[in-house]
Structure 1
Amino acid sequence: MNKRMISATFCMLLLGATEPALSQSLSALPLRNPRQIPDGYISVQSGISLSVPVADGDNEARQQDALKSFYRIATSNCAALLNTIADDCQISSLSSNTDVTNIDGRGPKLTVRGQVGMTVKLKPATPTVK
């Protein structure tokens, strides 16, 4: 047998010996589809867009600052929901993209656009007074 064949055989034996322990530890974990919303919760999506002017040479620093602002805004969405209609809120997904454009001729602007997905448990409805 050559070295590659021996190495592959050893790896298969090693994996075969650890498979029962691995499958036991994995089966002890509760499996939940991350896209599955728990009972009593709803999914809330929010779109965010912000633009900041940039000068030549500071795109990277401005991009980092703009992304930090995006994430602060994303987390404040849960706070707003908790202050109004929600008993519980968790961010379940985030996506963002950045680009630099000079559409209006006033100079380059860095734009951050993104989506924040939240899993929200609504507060109980309060009866309306007539």
Structure 2
Amino acid sequence: MNKRMISAALLLLGAAAPAFSQSLSALPLRNPHPIPDGYISVQSGISLSIPIADGNDEKQQQDAIKSFYRIAATNCAALLDTIADDCQINGLTSNTDVINIDGRGPKLTVRGQVTMAVKLKPAAAATK
């Protein structure tokens, strides 16, 4: 009897899955921070890997995240020094993991993306 119940559940799940996925794919993507006219969107990926010392993992994680945010903040400065007249961060994501892939000890990895709205300098916009 358990096999019948499992089979029935799988059948129902299989029948419902296409309808569920269609309803999810039909949802429009929304950008909570639209890009102003005359601006382009620029994304930058950032990844930090820091060895973890024994003790106080929370402080090390907070320090690593602060380093990530400092680096993210310098992205606009680099764009302003080179190709941009204006730059504003309008999206930021970050993830932290502790990994020990190479056997050299655990490392704290912080990865993320910074998304910026950028108004190009006239010379940079002309080459676009």
Q: Do these two structures clear the TM 0.5 threshold for a shared fold by scoring above it?
A: yes
2:97 to 96, 99, 107: 99
Query: Could you report, residue by residue, the CA deviation over 1:80-106 in whole angstroms, capped at 9, with x for unpaired residues?
Result: 000000000000000000010110000
Counterpart position of 1:37: 35
- 1 CA distance for matches of 2:59 and 2:101? 21
- 2 CA distance for matches of 1:58 and 1:103? 21
> What amino acid is the match of 1:34?
P
Give the unaligned 5+ runs of structure 1. 1-32
Superposed displacement of residue 125, structure 1: 1.5
Counterpart position of 1:83: 81
Larger of the two Rg values belongs to structure: 1
Query: Could you report, residue by residue, the CA deviation over 1:20-66 in whole angstroms, capped at 9, with x for unpaired residues?
Result: xxxxxxxxxxxxx6342111000000000001100232211110000
TM-score normalised by the chain length of structure 1: 0.69
Instruction: Note the 1:14-93 alignment, pairs <5 A.
Output: 34-93=32-91
1:112 to 110, 113, 120: 110
CA RMSD, Structure 1 to Structure 2 (Å): 1.7
Q: Secondary structure at the match of 2:58?
A: helix
Counterpart position of 1:28: none
- 2 CA distance for matches of 1:119 and 1:85? 13
TM-score normalised by the chain length of structure 2: 0.70
Q: Single out whichever of 99-108 and 49-58 deviates more from structure 2.
A: 49-58
What is the number of equivalent residue pairs in this alignment? 96
Give the unaligned 5+ runs of structure 2. 1-30
Pair 1:123 & 2:110 matched: no
Percent identity of paired positions between Structure 1 and Structure 2 = 79
> What amino acid is the match of 1:40?
G
